[in-house]
Structure 1
Amino acid sequence: MRALSGILAAGVLAALAGCGEKPATKTEAGGAAKPAASAPSPLTAAGWPKRKPGLWTQTVEIKDRDFSPSFRFCIDAATDAKLGLDSQGMDTRCAKGQMTRTADGGWTVTSACDMGPAGKAQSTVRVSGDFNSRYLMEIDSVTTGATQAAMNGQHRMTITAEWSGACPADWAAGDVEMPGGRRMNLLTKAVSGGG
């Protein structure tokens, strides 16, 4: 994923939010973002928080769905730069959105994505936390025009990530462990383990 990376990687996998599972996008070409009424200052890509290197455990909750999958992922400074909270901006299907710092110290990102047959999604992502021990992503999106009717409508997802310590010795930065134990590296796409 760069879509999965949003959600698992950052929230790695920067996201499932409707934008093909990408929660947010970068600011416009000049780095400027129009501040929202509740935001004291705009946030440029350089202002995104960096997560503490190591192993993170991320739990995804989707409104009105009776499951909460958990993922573990390993990052270092280099992979966080490539797969960080702003990595979803690499998706060319998404128009570059507005990123703003909120009065409570969090961030809000808006995006618009054209996913072809999967429809068009308008998303708002709120990110908060200290990024050393925990962070939270709340993703609200509305999808229209999807060929599968169930994909259309309003969707809400919450991603909670907690730092779990150092990465296991046999893991590489970029590795994500899915439910069931299968592991994939988001940078190399190599798959191992699980069933």
Structure 2
Amino acid sequence: MTRRPIVFCASLLALAMSAAAAAHAVDLPVRKAGLWEMKMLRSGGPMPEMTMQHCTDETIDKEMNNNVSPMAKQICTKQDIQKTATGYVSDSVCNVAGATTTSHAEITGDFNTAYTVKSTAHIQGGVAGAAGHDATTTIEAKWLGPCKADQKPGDIVMPGGFKMNVKDAAKLKDLLPK
């Protein structure tokens, strides 16, 4: 595995940890089982726009929340999620690889056909450097239908065909700089 997929996967894991860990204060709805397309748009960072697909079911969604949160408790000093009239709002402060990320996310949608996560983050230290920088990420997710015949719940297919299963994501923490 090259450094770029490792950094990307680590970034996805950190994003998932901040949202999933906070979900224990207020449980987020479980997504409809099947294949979800997630389009990630970023500004203020080196990652280009990308679209990935995630095959999921109720068990995987719950496992993602439960398995990620213990790690998030170790790296996040703040994890807060609140139900709002239009969805959810999440605020977190996490430290990964010497970088502190303070983020705010607004989550809207029905989790059956589509949902959107709009987040803003301030990253200080680490690769961002002492001055830090701000980044905005929007994830637009839509349900495509049943998973493909060669997919199992937890499979994520990223740009370029790189495929992994979220159950293997725990192995990524060993690849993160200490």
TM-score range, shorter chain: 0.7 to 0.9
Q: Distance in 1 between matches of 2:103 and 2:48?
A: 22
Distance 1:49 1:127 in 2: 11
Q: Distance in 1 between matches of 2:108 and 2:61?
A: 17
Q: Which SS does the other structure have where 1:98 is aligned?
A: strand
Percentage identity across aligned positions? 27
Residues 94-114 of structure 1: CA distance to partner in whole angstroms, max 9, x if unpaired? 12422111122x100111112
Q: Which amino acid aligns with 2:52?
A: F
Contact 1:6 1:22 in 2 (8 A): no
In structure 1, runs of 5+ residues without a counterpart are: 8-12, 16-20, 32-43, 190-195
Question: Residue 18 of structure 2 contacts residue 79 of structure 2 at CA under 8 Å; is this kept in 1?
Answer: no
Equivalent residue for 1:80? 61
Q: 1:107 to 1:81 in 2, by over 3 A?
A: same
> Does residue 182 in structure 1 map to residue 162 in structure 2?
yes
Alpha carbon RMSD of aligned pairs, Å?
Answer: 2.9
Instruction: Give the 4+ runs in structure 1 shifted more than 3 A.
Output: 3-7, 64-67, 86-90
Unmatched 5+ stretches in structure 2:
1-5, 170-178
Q: TM-score, normalised by structure 1?
A: 0.70
Residues 1:87 and 1:70: Cα distance change in structure 2 (over 3 Å): farther
- Distance, in Å, in 2 between the alignment partners of 1:52 and 1:130 is 9
- Indicate conservation of the 8 Å contact 1:56/1:164, yes or no: yes
CA separation in 1, counterparts of 2:35 and 2:91?
A: 28
| Residue 165, structure 1, aligned to residue 161, structure 2 | no
Describe the shift of the 1:163–1:186 C-alpha distance in structure 2 as closer, same or farther (beyond 3 A): same
Deviates more, 1:136-145 or 1:95-104: 95-104
The equivalent of 2:111 in structure 1 is 131
**Separation in structure 2 between the aligned mates of residue 4 and residue 131 of structure 1, nearest angstrom:** 23
Q: Per the alignment, in what secondary structure is the counterpart of residue 107 of structure 2? A: strand
1:67 to 14, 27, 48: 48
Q: 1: CA distance between counterparts of 2:138 and 2:128?
A: 23
Structure (1/2) with the larger strand percentage: 2
Question: In the alignment, which of 81, 88, 91 is matched to residue 110 of structure 1?
Answer: 91
Cα distance per residue 1:76-120 (max 9 Å; x no partner): 111010125x8753422112422111122x100111112243x11
For 2:90 and 2:57, the matched residues in 1 are separated by 24
Cα distance change of structure 1 residues 139 and 160 upon mapping to structure 2, 3 Å threshold: same
Count of aligned pairs: 159
Tell me which residue corresponds to 1:95. 77
Q: What displacement does 1:150 show?
A: 9.0
The alignment partner of 1:187 has SS state of: helix
